[in-house]
Structure 1
Amino acid sequence: MSMAEYKGKVKSIQDTPFGYTLSVIGGKWKMVIIYLLAENESVRFNDLKRQIGAITYKTLSSHLKELEADGMVIRKEYPQIPPRVEYSLTDKAKTLLPILEKLCEWGIKNQDN
């Protein structure tokens, strides 16, 4: 269904496919997390934190849980001491990668303007 077909059928933007997309990848860090997981395939929590830098542990943990609940991230826990947890992208999340590439291309073209 196109955005035009949704006109008049929804009360707010959140009820549209665009609103759904924003709810899954919106915010300051979610696309960064997806980008880093795409670059590294499988990443441990502390490695993600180190690569992002400015994000707090609480925010990273919260975003990873949300991405997992939305079917974007796989959390794999290894039964060892100390506990080891790795995160990777689902096939659903990988369908976003061409869109992220386009955003990067846009940034390359417009960064100096």
Structure 2
Amino acid sequence: MTDATRDAEATETGTFVDSMDDKYLGVREKRELFNLLGKAHTMELIHVFVREPGPWRFNELREVVGVSQNTLSARLSELLEADLLTRRSYDEIPPRVEYRATEKLTDLRPVFRHLSEWAEQYDH
């Protein structure tokens, strides 16, 4: 089997990892990441954490983003699962929960800076 055939078959199954370096995501992982980023309010939440890594409380995020409790809860859970956020609960009354950006998320700062520059360049 040639390398091209193996790569094509692996791409179809979603197990292909870029051959340049194992640090790159496979096709399936990239698809999952882009699906998450494309969900309503995800990019806005990420932008909040890129600007200010935290800690952020749930209601603070809700005010800043202006999203329903259910949607915010779902997005935060998905960002936690993707290791883009951490969650810390405090044993207090009333309960307190804080969210912080992980290094993985804060590493997106240059991406957001470039996107902002691009948007400004082409904003007519």
What TM-score do you get using the length of structure 1 for normalisation? Answer: 0.80
Amino acid of the structure 2 residue aligned with 1:101: R
Which runs of no fewer than 5 residues in structure 1 stay unpaired? 1-5
RCO (CA 8 Å, sep 6+): is it higher in 1 or 2?
1
TM-score, normalised to structure 2, is 0.73
Greater shift in the superposed pair: 70-79 or 16-25: 16-25
Instruction: Give 1:47's aligned residue.
Output: 60
Pairs within 5 Å for 1:95-110: 95-110=107-122
Give yes or no for contact 1:37–1:87 (8 Å, CA) kept in 2: no
Q: Deviations over 1:28-77 (max 9, x none)?
A: 21111111122232211001000011x11100000000100110111111
DSSP 3-state at the match of 1:71:
coil
Displacement over 4 Å in runs of 4+: none
Q: Which amino acid aligns with 1:110?
A: Y
Partner of 1:92: 104
Q: 1:27: Cα distance to partner?
A: 1.5
Larger radius of gyration: 2
Please give the residue correspondences for 1:1-113 in structure 2 after superposition, counting only pairs within 5 Å: 9-11=10-12, 15-16=27-28, 18-40=30-52, 41-53=54-66, 55-111=67-123, 113=124
Query: Aligned letter for 2:63?
Result: R
Query: How far apart, in 2, do the equivalents of 1:65 and 1:88 lie?
Result: 13
Cα root mean square deviation, aligned: 2.4
Task: Report the residue type matching 2:56 in the other structure.
Answer: V
